[in-house]
Amino acid sequence: MDYQQLFSLKGKTALVTGGARGLGKAMAEALAQVGANIIIADMELASAQQAAKELASFGGKTLGLQVDVTSEEQVRAMVDQIVGEFNELNVVINNAGICQKITVEEQSLEDWKKTMDVNVNGVFLVSKYSGKQMKMQGGGSIINMASMSSFIANTEAQCAYNASKAAVDMMTKCMASEWAGNNIRVNAIAPGYMKTEMTKPIFAPGGELAHVLDLVPLKRLGEPHELGGLAIYLASDASTFTTGSTFIVDGGYTIW
C-alpha cells in the first residue's frame, strides 16, 4: 500500500467555508500542502481572496469567494461557480460558524435564531448543494465542524452554540446514512478549546476563560495545525471506510 498516495489530494478540489482565518485557514493550508485546489469562502471577500492568494504558494489552483452560508441562493451559486471553474467539488469543510456567550435568560430569540441559522442551516445548505454535485460526479467527502460542545455543556453560558453543534453531530450521521450508497462520506471534527488570534486573549492569564485550562488534561489550548492531519485523513482516500463519525480533538477535556 502506497500511503503517501493514499493521503494525497493532488488534483482534488476542496471548499472551506469560513476559511479566511483561524481553524478554517489552518485546515485549508493542510489540504493545500497535500495537493488540493482550494476555494476559500468567507463573508469578507478581501480576506477570502488574500487567504487564497497565500495558499496558492503550495502549487494548487485557489479561489477566494464571498458567500453568506445562510443564503440558499448564494450557496447554490457558489457551488455552480466552483464546478464551472474546477469541474468538480471533491471535498467540503463546513467550517463557518459563530458562538455567542449569552445566558438563556438574556439571549434574545433573534440571537438564538442567528446562531442556528449560521451553525445549522449553513451546514445544511452547503452540504445539500455540495452533496448533489458529489452525487452526480460519483462521490466526495464532506467534513462538518462540530465541537466538543456537541456532547458536553461548557462551564460558560452558550446554550445556543452547544445546541447547534449537537445538531451538526446528528446531521453528520443522517447525511452519512443517506449518501452512503453514493460514495459520499460525511464526518465531523469536534475541536475543544483552540488557540486562535481571536481566542488567545480570553485564555491568557487573567482572561475570562483562563480557568478552563485546569479542566484540560493536557493543560493547554489546541493549536490550529493540530486539526490539519485529521482534515487530510477525512478528505483523502485514507478514510474510505470512515463515515458518520465525529472525531473529538480536545486535549482530553471530555474524558472527565
pLDDT tens, 191-244? 999 998 777 788 888 788 888 889 999 999 999 999 999 999 999 999 999 999
Q: Which pLDDT does position 209 carry in this prediction?
A: 83
Q: Which pLDDT does position 211 carry in this prediction?
A: 86
**Is 161 an annotated catalytic residue?**
yes
- Residue 206 inside a domain? The answer is no
- Residue 212 inside a domain? The answer is no
Distance CA 119, CA 18 (A): 11
As a dihedral over the C-alpha atoms of residue 169, residue 117, residue 194, residue 54, rounded to 10 degrees, the angle is 110
Residues in the chain, pLDDT under 70: none
User: What phi and psi values does residue 20 have, to the nearest 5 degrees?
Assistant: -80, -15
Nearest to 137 by CA among 205, 184, 201: 184
- Residue 116 inside a domain? The answer is yes
- Residue 113 inside a domain? The answer is yes
Q: State the total domains in the chain.
A: 1
pLDDT tens, 136-145? 999 999 999 9
Question: Domain with 127 in it: what CATH number?
Answer: 3.40.50.720
User: Of these residues, 3, 129, 161, 253, which one is catalytic?
Assistant: 161
Q: Which pLDDT does position 208 carry in this prediction?
A: 83
- Residue 237 inside a domain? The answer is yes
Per DSSP bridges, beta strands 37-42 and 13-17 are parallel
- DSSP per-residue letters across the chain: --HHHHT--TT-EEEEET-SSHHHHHHHHHHHHTT-EEEEEES-HHHHHHHHHHHGGGSS-EEEEE--TT-HHHHHHHHHHHHHHHS---EEEE---------TTT--HHHHHHHHIIIIIHHHHHHHHHHHHHHHHT-EEEEEE--GGGTS--SS--HHHHHHHHHHHHHHHHHHHHHGGGTEEEEEEEE-SB--TTTHHHHSTTSTTGGGGGGSTT-SPBPGGGGHHHHHHHHSGGGTT--S-EEEESTTGGG-
Domain ranges, residue 182:
3-194+223-248
Q: Which pLDDT does position 126 carry in this prediction?
A: 98
- Residue 217 inside a domain? The answer is no
pTM of the model: 0.97
Place of cell 458529489: 134
- Residue 205 inside a domain? The answer is no
- Residue 200 inside a domain? The answer is no
